[in-house]
Amino acid sequence: MATPSLPWWGAPDSLSETNLPATTDFAVVGGGVMGLCTAYWLARGGARPLIIEQDRCGAGATGRNGGFLAVGTTESYRATIARFGRIAARQILRLTVDNRAGAAELITEEEIACDLRSAGRLHLSLGLEEDDRLKRTMAVLVEDGCPTEWLDRAGVQGEIGTPLGPGITGALFSPESALIHPGKLVRGLAGAARRRGASLTRARVERVEPDGAGVRVLTSRGIVLAGRVLLAVNAWTATLLPRYRDSIVPVRGQMLAYAPTGPVFRAGITAMLTETEEYWQQAANGSIILGGCRAVGPGRDEGVLATEPSPEVQHALEGVLPALFPQLGPLRVTHRWAGPMAFTRDRLPLVGPLPDLPACWIAAGFSGHGMAMAFTLGRLVGSVLLTGRSDPRLNPFSLDRLTGATA
């Protein structure tokens, strides 16, 4: 694999090692989409938050994903209902719908050029049994206020610029889902947070401890005393909080990019060729960016923090498009990369204060669905940290819902 191992989206901008302040009202640890959104809303509320990032903004899952701004839950919506009940599932679904709208509003207001496209998402069906399952999911989504459409095989062919393989029988279309360029998004969010009053610095946080009513943040470059802290480090949560090792598990996601080709895919597309799902989009310049296939990796790539791709998963990725679209023609890989996501047992993030250190919050375990929630969750968490007033929309993400998630 001689192709570059940096994401097609480009390397995130590096941060300067500016002097750490001795104190801050609000410290946000982690420069991914959740940390940046929270800091942005803290700054819009009049605070001057400090963002502490150990590497580069977007160096984790935020800058290494497929660029989907999805609407819907991580699992199928019917599975979410079975797990949490209809009322809670509807609340989670509504949060992703609000997230999509809130993201577009923020991107527009701050003039972030991140290639936002309201292209929708097609989930391909690969057989009559899956047709039936997806149609039943669609009916519940529509009942709960999430526009969703069923396309038969001819309808799918009308959306894709190459003949379908024989296994594709239809697709679920989510018109409200969108596509973005994660690298450009991260740079734009960091710039917007700075303009609003946030500061960013590079340091590795090694420990957090109580300090009166606040938090002592011990870093590789000194100590910061903070009134409130958000740990938004996702896959690295257990390095700071070992007791969450079994609740927030790093999972390596792998991707590749193909050289530009003629227009084939207008929407973002997902399919279940393997049990862990595959996903891709075609960028404006014709490049196809594709990920998934971790089901073929040892242990499904769970518990892996590495950012180097593996041969077995990359080989499986190269087989996805030929299997589904045999007449697409030869494709040339230009980039391969990997990055750690973080999963919870129930596929919902953990968001809330630490039981033994309530001035310190965590937001982690987005289970590959961070873009679909972080814009709204960042705004809600920022508001709670500023005002001290709870928000019921955060209830489904409480830390006490999982066995072993409390101290």
- Using the Cα atoms of residue 101, residue 368, residue 312 and residue 269 in order, give the sign of their dihedral: negative
pLDDT at 222 over 70: yes
> Which residues, including other chains, have CB under 8 Å from residue 362's CB and lie 6 or more apart?
230, 231, 232, 237, 241, 244, 350, 351, 352, 354, 399
Instruction: Assign 329 a pLDDT band (cuts: 50, 70, 90).
Output: confident
Nearest to 82 by CA among 10, 133, 32, 150: 133
pLDDT at residue 6 in the model = 85
Q: Quickly count: other Cβ atoms within 10 Å of residue 79's Cβ.
A: 14
Q: In this structure, how many other beta carbons lie within 10 angstroms of the beta carbon of residue 64?
A: 26
Average pLDDT score over residue span 17-24: 88
Q: What is the pLDDT of residue 374?
A: 97
Round to whole Å and give the CA distance between 392 and 287: 42
> What's at 222, amino acid-wise?
G
For 263, phi and psi rounded to 5 degrees? -65, 125
User: Residue 247 — very low, low, confident or very high, per pLDDT cuts 50/70/90?
Assistant: very high
Where would I find the H helices in 29-85? 33-44, 77-84
List pLDDT tens digits, range 2-13. 576 789 998 777
More confident residue, 399 or 11: 399
Task: Please tell me the distance from the alpha carbon of residue 397 to that of residue 364, in angstroms, as a whole number.
Answer: 10
pLDDT, mean of residues 100-129: 97
Burial class (CB in 10 A: 0-12, 13-18, 19+), 241: buried
pLDDT of 275 strictly over 50: yes
Q: Does residue 272 surpass a pLDDT of 70?
A: yes
Mean predicted lDDT score pLDDT of the chain: 94
Strands 149-152 and 121-125: unpaired
Asked if residues 3 and 336 have their Cβ atoms less than 8 Å apart, the reply is yes
For the entire predicted model, the pTM comes to 0.95
Q: How much is the pLDDT for 407?
A: 34
Residue 393 has pLDDT above 70, yes or no: yes
Q: What is the pLDDT, as a whole number, of residue 89?
A: 96
Q: Is the pLDDT of residue 280 over 90?
A: yes
For residue 62, which phi and psi values (nearest 5 degrees)? -60, -40
Are 288 and 264 a contacting pair, CB within 8 Å?
yes
Every domain of the chain and the residues it spans: 19-118+176-248+344-407, 121-175, 251-341
163-199 pLDDT, tens per residue?
A: 999 999 999 999 999 999 999 999 999 999 999 999 9
In this prediction, residue 406 carries a pLDDT of: 38
CATH fold group of domain 19-118+176-248+344-407: FAD/NAD(P)-binding domain (3.50.50)
Residue 159 has pLDDT above 80, yes or no: yes
DSSP three-state, residue 28: strand
Find, among 267, 301, 297, 293, the residue nearest to 282 by Cα: 267
Domain 251-341 in this protein, CATH class:
alpha beta
266-to-178, 213, 357 alpha-carbon distances in Å: 11, 52, 47
CA separation for the pair 193, 205 (Å, rounded): 20
Q: How confident is the model at residue 1 (pLDDT cuts 50, 70, 90)?
A: low
- What whole-number distance in Å separates Cα of residue 72 and Cα of residue 121? 11
Q: Please give the pLDDT value at position 405.
A: 41
Q: Averaged over 270-298, what is the pLDDT?
A: 96
pLDDT value of position 404: 44
- Nearest CA to 202 out of 19, 396, 332 is that of 19
Q: Tell the residue number behind the tokens 């590749």, with chain if given.
A: 256
pLDDT of residue 76: 93
Does 70 score more than 50 pLDDT? yes
Q: What is the pLDDT of residues 340-382, one digit of tens each?
A: 999 999 999 999 999 999 999 999 999 999 999 999 999 999 9
Q: What is the pLDDT of residues 255-268, one digit of tens each?
A: 999 999 999 999 99
Q: What is the spatial distance between Cα 105 and Cα 89, in angstroms, rounded to a whole number?
A: 24
Nearest to 207 by CA among 189, 223, 183: 223
